[in-house]
Structures are given as C-alpha cells and as structure tokens.
Amino acid sequence: MSENLAQVLSMGAQARIASRLVRVAPAQQRTRALAAMARRVQAAGADILAANAADVQQARAAGQSESYLDRLQLDPPRLAAMVEALGTIAAAPDPVGVTLSRWRRPNGLDFARVTTPIGVIGVIFESRPNVATDAAALCLRAGNCVILRAGSDSLASVQALTTALREGLADAGLPRDCVQSIATPDRAAVGLMLEGLGGALDVLIPRGGKSLVTRVQSEARVPIFAHLEGLCHTYIHADADADKALAITLNAKLRRVSVCGATETLLCDAAIAPQMLPRIAQALHASGCQLRGDAAAQALHPMQAAQEEDWRTEYLAPILAIKVVGDLDAAMAHIAQYGSGHTDAIVTENALAAQRFCAEVDSAIVLVNASTQFADGGEFGFGAEIGIATGKLHARGPVGADQLVTFKYVIHGTGQTRA
Amino acid sequence: MSENLAQVLSMGAQARIASRLVRVAPAQQRTRALAAMARRVQAAGADILAANAADVQQARAAGQSESYLDRLQLDPPRLAAMVEALGTIAAAPDPVGVTLSRWRRPNGLDFARVTTPIGVIGVIFESRPNVATDAAALCLRAGNCVILRAGSDSLASVQALTTALREGLADAGLPRDCVQSIATPDRAAVGLMLEGLGGALDVLIPRGGKSLVTRVQSEARVPIFAHLEGLCHTYIHADADADKALAITLNAKLRRVSVCGATETLLCDAAIAPQMLPRIAQALHASGCQLRGDAAAQALHPMQAAQEEDWRTEYLAPILAIKVVGDLDAAMAHIAQYGSGHTDAIVTENALAAQRFCAEVDSAIVLVNASTQFADGGEFGFGAEIGIATGKLHARGPVGADQLVTFKYVIHGTGQTRA
C-alpha cells in the first residue's frame, strides 16, 4: 500500500479517537465550534478562492463542461452562502441527548431511549465544494466525525475549506480530526472508504451523479444514506382542481429541471384528461418543455410518442413523459412499477383518494396538492440536508442533523436482578 | 440454477407482491391474522410435533449434542408457549401508521412523519423452531412479509409451523405469502438470501451462533439487524453499594450463563476492591463460577491469572474475567477497547458517575444498578423480540415490532408551488 493510502486508512483511526471526545462534548461546545468554523471559513476566503481558482483552471484544461465548471466554481457570494449555512446549523436545535421515550417497568426499572451520535460518517461527493461545509457542520451538529472525499477536480478547494473548518474546531477546544478530508487524488482511496476504512466508518453518504452512487451502492461494505435517482410522479386525479393541477405540474417539472425532486412523469386520470391535459400540455410546451405521451395523451395534444424507456427515465431536463391512467389504482400501480421511492404527488380535492395515495405509495415523500420540488431539507424546515435517502432504514427523505443520530437505552435501577 | 434455487428466488418476488397488500391492510386485519395464526398452530400441534420428532431423530443420528437437541426439540408446553407468544403479539399495539411528528411551514404546507412497514424481512436462524413463529408474528405486526430460512436440522419443524401460520393468514384474508419458509436444505439458498433474493429483501436478521452471524455480516449485500456477541461488562464503581454489587454481579454472570446479556468481565474499582472483591469472588466461586483475574484481583482472592485473551472472550459459561481498574475513566476505556457495544452496567450510588457512564459508554444498552441480564425484549416490555442489534443504524438493542417499521413524510398542501 502506498504511503498516501496508509495515511487514508489512518484517518479512520484518527476519526474514531476524535469521535470518543466529540460524542460526549456538550451541545454548547459544538455550537461554539460551528460558529468558529463559520468565522474561520470567512477569514480564509482569499485562500479558499485561490485554491478554487486553481481547481477550476485545471478542470477547464481537462475539458470539463461549462455546467460542471459552474458547479465547481466558488465566488464571494457563494462563499458567503456557505458561511451563512454554517451559522444556521450552529443555531439549529441540538439533536443529541434527546429522550425519545421513557417508561417504567413493574419491577421499578426506569427505561429511557436517548439519542446519541452515530460515530464516524464518510461523505463521497463530486464537484460542489459547499458539500464539504454543509456535511461537516451537520455531522458535528449531531456529534459525529466526518471524513470527506471530494471529487478529484475539487481537491484543492476542499483542502482549503477543511483547513479552515479544523481551525474552527480547535478554537472551540474540539479535536481537529472531527473533520478530515482525503487529499490524495488516488482513486484507490475511494475503495478504502467503500470498505469502511478498517471498520472506522459507521455510514457512508455518496453525493453526486448516478455513476458515483451506483458504484457506492454496489460496492460499499457499510450502510449508505443515498438516492440513486428521483423518478418522481405527479398524478392528476379525477377530482383535481384544474388551476392547482396546472400550477403544480408546471412547477414540479420546470422550476428547476436538474433537481432530484423534479417530476419526470405526469399521470393524468382518464376521467379528467380531455378537460385538463390539453391546457397543461400547451402551457408546458409554451415553456419549452418537450412532451412524450402514450396514445391517449397524444390523442389530446400533439406530442411525441412515449416509449417504455420513457417511464424509466430521470430526464433532469425539460422533458416530461405523460400517461393517461384509468384510475387511482392504475396510477399507484405505475408508480410502484417505475418509481424510485423518492417523491410522488397527487393533485385531488378528494380526501379519500389523497389518503389512499399517501398510505399506499411507498415513497420517502408523498404530497397532496403540492409540487414535488418541495423535496428538499430546507423546505422541510431542516435547515440543511446532507442529501436525500430513498433507502428504508434509519434515514429516509431529506437527511438533516436529526437523522445523523442513533439512540441507546439507558436503564436506571436500584439493585434489580432478573428472576 | 437448480429448480429448488429458482423457487427460492421466486419467493422474493412473491413476498414483494404480498408486501404491497399487507402493507396497507388495516391493523385489525393483521390482529385477526395473528390470532388465527395462534389457533392454527395450536390446531396443527400433532403434525408439528411429528415433524419435529423426525427432525430430532435425524439430528441425533447426525451426532448433534444434547444441548443442541434440547434447543431443537418441541413438546406440548413449548408449543403452548409459542401459541401464547402469538397471542401476546396479536394483542400488542400496532406500530404502523403512527404519526411520529407533525409540523406546519410558513407556506401552509402540513408535514407529518408517519411510520410505515419496512417491506420484506429475511430471517436466517439455526435450531430453535420458536424463532419461526416469533419472527413471523413480529414482522406481520409491523406490516411486513417474512422469508424464513431455518437451519437444516429444523426444516421439517419449520415447514409444519409455516403451513399453519399461512393458514392463519388466509383465515383473515391476507396473502399466505406474507410468511414463507425455504424448504430446500441446499446451502446455496442462504447465499441467495445474503444477496437479497434479487432485490426483494429490505433487511436480513441472522439469529444463531457466531459462525452464522459472522458469515452474514461479512457476505450480506443487504442491511442487517444482529449482534455477533455480547461481551458485557459490570463495573463496580468506588461508590457502589456492597449488597447491590454482590447481588447484581452474581445475577449478571450466573442467572443464565449462555445468554448474550450475561456479564463476561467484572471491572472493580481499585478504591473499593479490597472490601468488595473477596466477598464477591467467594460467592461466585461457591456458585461454581471459575474466576480469571488480573494481578490486583489475584492478590485479593485466589484465582487463575487472566490472559489478554480473556478480556476478549464471550465465555457463555460459568467463567468470569475480573480486572481491578483505577477509576471510572479506566473502566470506560476498557469497555471501549474490549466491549461489543451490547450491554454494560455500572453499580454506583454516585449520580454523576452514573450519568457519565450512561453518556460515554457507547453500547446499545447501559444500566445503572441493575443486572446486564435484563438485556431482553420481554424485560423491556416489548412483548417479544426478533433479536438484539448492536449495529448503530435504525434498530439497536432488542428488536421488537416497533423497530420493524420505517417512516415516510406525508405532506398536505392546497396547491403550493416552490418559488
């Protein structure tokens, strides 16, 4: 093993040591550290922007696309937003040490279920450097240590950010190793993280495109919080309000087409399609959205024919697949077959239909009469999120500080022995 | 792939279909099914005992030990206890559809975090046939489907039990495939389960000895709820009450030596060891417990010398490792180094010491002034448990029906779109 890789492995051991300290640090100390991290990032602004400029120059030379360079690039407003996010997380309620439930048994034993930090969290991400500050802050808010692995194009930016974050930790008397980032571009370092850094990682969070998430999902030996894709549906029920249906569909598809909460397939109830679909299709078309419909949709408005593949495609682009469905059950069957368990919405004035949709659609987020683009930790009131999870265990939906804790049972007795 | 293995894979698909139905079945229907399962197991008693007798005969011929045969064997009282457990789970509160939290955002969106079933749960277990009824009932209580894989020695018993359980499901109008068990002794079936049965399994629960759990932990491609071992500690603090310390230590070690909550290492504070350790050691010795101590413990009572290996050994036998530690920090450092994150106890009258121990010992269960043998779902008031988990995500400690659910976000709006 190269020296670089040995160093990566040693980060796992360092994190476990730091974890024992930060796990029991008072909430106020972690709050002070978060505030200090914000100050240190702000103070190191020039260094961070210089490192980022070098990253951007190198990525441009390597022929990365403009949209890629845009995600990578930092500027003073973006840096200020990162500092502000650190402040927001510093001000957020502390999720550690919360008593979730408490009960007493007939033998007098007092049981409490209390939140505690998870331990050490690995975050593998791609170009956006702000993931470094968001992830570090959310992990610390929940009493965890984090090991960051940035994409090779943003290594210098993330190293500069990490240096500042670690100074902030030291300012508050916490171990610098609560936040570490892997500096080597050696791709074998990702393999070490997928193996769990010698048992050090409790959970791994991949943030990035499908190829990254697919690799992590198929190779990781530790639990993952992630989503591979957001194949979100909006279903216009027979009892939908026409104006809501129009506004929600336009927003759900087009507000931002590149986010995971964007609607990719519109399901329209056959009972209402003749009245509604032409108007909605026209508005989408006028907004530059390409439409791909089944035969029934095509009969109501001129559009391309949808292929089987369209029901399975997360376009992340101004393209919408449209299907006319017979009823609520047909809509839910389509979602069960093609959905990704991320976010799905129904538009209806019928409370019973809404109730069935919410109970029966097995997705992390289900909405009634609202846009799927609300699938975002900020919109949930979580302050910030480290990602959105579509797995079923532990964390589901937007992952904020509240979901970066686990719990333990604390039992108080007076000398009880078991019969 | 053999016909048998193709059939095992098809069980995954069947379970997913059944899951869509049982997931939304009303609580009362699942309660009726659990009651019917109890009746059907009772009614099929003769068939079940006959199948079990054949299993026992075969296992005896294969040279299995008496203790193994004892775990495998059913008799009318054991069968009655299994039926009673089904009734208890039928009567337990339903964990599905519970609103965990609810809040409203400034834009009027109403958010609820609501429990929902996980989906399909795989259970791999060894000789005890009662795991089949307990696991099936807990999974159903939480709206899940279960696929059971019994040890090759108990296949006939578990098939007979499964037949009865499936009849009970049908009696209540639920799909029989909510409970399936793998009938083939082909060990490749276990490999298929570890791979997740073609994406069908949401979580895997191994119940059995270390070789089983180790294999599942190292090879499974799906999340696991399990514990490898219970290397539990009892720490007698300097401010311990002598009588409590004696009673708790004897119970924690000797009540049953073969359970995962049995104490394996006694840590005794140096400040109190001269007064306490001789009395405790004598009582343990008189009860037939072999003692292995460090030099300081040996100086206080005649006992074998403990080796490094003793601190790492889950004896599951009347053997106790004893170490004299300098203070609370030394005790916690020992537990951090050698513990398995299962269950650890402190005996003390000092509230501050108790508080630090509970906060800083990173185990699923921490106790103050009580025996580690309380590490059991029944003693927690959970009614029954499907096992104890030492992982940190989702389920930790005894896993009852309450931990076999996940949650989703249900959001109600009035036409909101995102800015």
Whether the CB of B360 is below 8 Å from some CB of chain A: the reply is: yes
| Contact residues on chain A for B381, CB-CB shorter than 8 A | 103, 105, 111
CATH 3.40.309.10 maps onto chain A at 232-379
pLDDT at B75: 96
CATH number, span A232-379: 3.40.309.10
The boundaries of every CATH 3.40.605.10 domain in chain B are 3-225+399-412
- Find all residues with CB under 8 Å of A103, minimum gap 6, and list them: A111, B381
Whole-angstrom Cα distance, residue A255 to residue A240? Answer: 21
Q: For residues A193 and A181, is the Cβ–Cβ distance under 8 A?
A: no
Where do the CATH 3.40.605.10 domains begin and end in chain A?
3-225+399-411
Which fold would CATH assign to domain A3-225+399-411? Aldehyde Dehydrogenase; Chain A, domain 1 (3.40.605)
Q: What's the pLDDT score for residue A127? A: 81
Q: What is the pLDDT of residues A295-310, one digit of tens each?
A: 999 999 999 999 999 9
Phi, psi of A405, rounded to the nearest 5 degrees: -115, 160
Phi, psi (deg, nearest 5) at residue B398: -60, 135
Residue B270 DSSP class: T
Give the pLDDT of residue B383.
76
Q: What is the dihedral of CA A53, A7, A185, A163, to 10 degrees?
A: -10
Write the pLDDT tens digit of every residue in A76-94: 999 999 999 999 999 999 9
Phi (first) and psi of residue A326, to 5 degrees: -70, -40
Q: pLDDT (tens digit, 9 = 90+) per residue, A17-46? A: 999 999 999 999 999 999 999 999 999 999
Query: A94 vs chain B: nearest CA distance in angstroms?
Result: 15
Distance (Å, whole) CA B136 – CA B138? 6
A62 in contact with B, Cβ within 8 Å: no
Within 8 A of B109 by CB-CB distance, chain A residues are 370, 374, 379
H or E, element range at B247: helix B242-254
For A363-382, what is the mean pLDDT?
95
Q: How confident is the model at residue A384 (pLDDT cuts 50, 70, 90)?
A: confident
Please name the residues between 24 and 53 in chain B that touch chain A, using a CB distance below 8 Å: 24
Helix axes B242-254, B273-286, angle to 10 degrees: 40
What is the mean predicted confidence (pLDDT) over B235-250?
Answer: 98
- For A:68-97, CB contacts with B below 8 A are 97
- pLDDT tier, B73 (very low <50, low <70, confident <90, very high otherwise): very high
Average pLDDT over residues B177-198: 94
* pLDDT for res B67: 86
Dihedral of CA atoms B268, B364, B313, B302 in degrees, nearest 10, equals: 20
Which pLDDT does position B267 carry in this prediction? 98
- Phi, psi of B53, rounded to the nearest 5 degrees: -60, -40
Per CB-CB distance under 8 Å, the chain B contacts of A411 are: 365-368, 370, 374
Least CB–CB distance from A392: residue in B119, B251, B414:
B119
Query: Taking CB atoms and an 8 Å limit, are A109 and B411 in contact across chains?
Result: no
C-alpha A62, offset from chain centre: 28
Band (pLDDT 50/70/90 cuts) for residue B127 is confident
Task: Tell me which chain A residues have a C-beta less than 8 angstroms from the C-beta of B244.
Answer: 414-415
Q: Looking at the complex, does the CB of residue A406 fall below 8 Å from at least one CB of chain B? A: yes
Mean pLDDT for all residues in chain A: 95
What integer pLDDT is reported at residue B19 of this predicted model?
A: 96
Contact A248, A371 (CB under 8 A): yes
* Mean pLDDT for the stretch of residues A67-71: 90
User: In which band, very low, low, confident or very high, does the pLDDT at A400 lie, cut at 50, 70 and 90?
Assistant: very high
Q: How many whole angstroms separate alpha carbon A35 and alpha carbon B285? A: 57
How sure is the predictor about B322, in pLDDT bands with cuts at 50, 70 and 90?
very high
Mean of the pLDDT values across residues B301-312?
A: 97
Alpha-carbon span A147 to A161, nearest angstrom: 13
Which residues on chain A are in Cβ contact (under 8 Å) with B359? 24, 97
B359–A417 CB contact, under 8 Å? no
Of the candidates A23, A366, A374, the beta carbon closest to that of B418 is on A374
Average pLDDT across chain B, whole number: 95
CB pair distance less than 8 Å for A364 and B408: yes
B3, pLDDT greater than 90: no
Inspect the interface and report whether the beta carbons of A415 and B241 lie closer than 8 Å.
yes
- B97 contacts in A (CB within 8 Å)? 359
- Residue B63, pLDDT > 90, answer yes
Q: 């099936």: which residue's tokens? A: B136
Q: What's at B267, amino acid-wise? A: L
Asked if the Cβ–Cβ distance from B396 to A407 is below 8 Å, we say yes
Helix (H) / strand (E) element for B321: namely strand B319-325
- Three-state SS at A358: helix
Are A367 and B118 a contacting pair at CB < 8 A? Answer: no
Write the burial class of residue A102 (CB in 10 Å: 0-12 exposed, 13-18 middle, 19+ buried): exposed
Q: Where are the beta strands (DSSP E) in A191-278?
A: 203-207, 232-236, 263-269
Q: Indicate the residue type of A399.
A: V
B17: closest chain A residue by CA: A336
Residue type, B115: T
The whole-angstrom distance between A51's CA and the closest CA on chain B is 33
Is the pLDDT at A171 greater than 80? The verdict is: yes
Question: Amino acid identity of B304?
Answer: Q
Class of domain B3-225+399-412: alpha beta
Strands B120-125, B110-117: parallel, antiparallel or unpaired by DSSP?
unpaired
Residue B81 has pLDDT above 90, yes or no: yes
Query: Residue B208: which pLDDT band, with cuts at 50, 70 and 90?
Result: confident
Give per-residue burial for B74-104: e unless 16+ CB within 10 Å, then b.
Answer: beeeebeebbebbbebbebebbbeeeeeeee
| Backbone conformation region of residue B138, classed left if phi is above 0, alpha if psi is from -120 to 50, else beta | alpha
Nearest chain A CA: its distance from B343 CA (Å): 9
Do A44 and A163 contact (CB within 8 A), yes or no?
yes
pLDDT at residue A37, as a whole number: 98
Helical axes A130-141 vs A76-91, angle rounded to 10°: 10
Is pLDDT above 90 for B2?
A: no
In chain A, % of residues over pLDDT 70: 100
B94-97: Cβ within 8 A, 24+ apart: B94/B27, B94/B30, B94/B31, B94/B141, B95/B141, B95/B142, B95/B401, B95/B402, B95/B404, B95/B405, B96/B27, B96/B142, B96/B143, B96/B405, B97/A359, B97/B27
Strands B99-104 vs B110-117: parallel, antiparallel or unpaired = antiparallel
Residue A367 pLDDT exceeds 80: yes
Cα–Cα distance measured from residue B289 to residue B301, given in angstroms and rounded to the nearest whole number: 14
Quote the ipTM score.
0.94
Q: A164 with A41: CB under 8 angstroms?
A: yes
Q: Which of A161, A35, A163 has its CA nearest to residue A87?
A: A35
Alpha-carbon distances, residue B294 vs B234, B306, B311, B336, B344 (angstroms)? 16, 5, 10, 18, 20
| pLDDT tens string A232-248 | 999 999 999 999 999 99
Give the residue among A135, A168, A129, A167 at the shortest CA–CA distance from A150.
Answer: A129
- A374, A388, A407: which to substitute to probe chain B, counting the most B Cβ within 10 Å? A374
User: Predicted confidence band at A208 (pLDDT cuts at 50, 70, 90)?
Assistant: confident
Residue B358 touches chain A, beta carbons under 8 Å: yes
User: B interface mutation test: which of A109, A239, A332 has the most B CBs within 10 A?
Assistant: A109
Confidence of residue B382 (pLDDT cuts 50, 70, 90): confident
- Residue A145 forms contact with B (CB below 8 Å): no
User: CA–CA separation, B119 vs A192, rounded Å?
Assistant: 31
Using a 10 angstrom Cβ sphere, with 0-12 exposed, 13-18 middle and 19 or more buried, the burial of residue B378 is middle
pLDDT band at A340 (very low <50, low <70, confident <90, very high): very high
E strand intervals along B45-131: 99-104, 110-117, 120-125
Question: Residue A223 is nearest to which of B223, B354, B415, comparing CB atoms?
Answer: B223
Helices (H), B96-141: 130-141
Residue whose token pair is 């009969």: A299
Residue carrying structure tokens 């075969």: B58
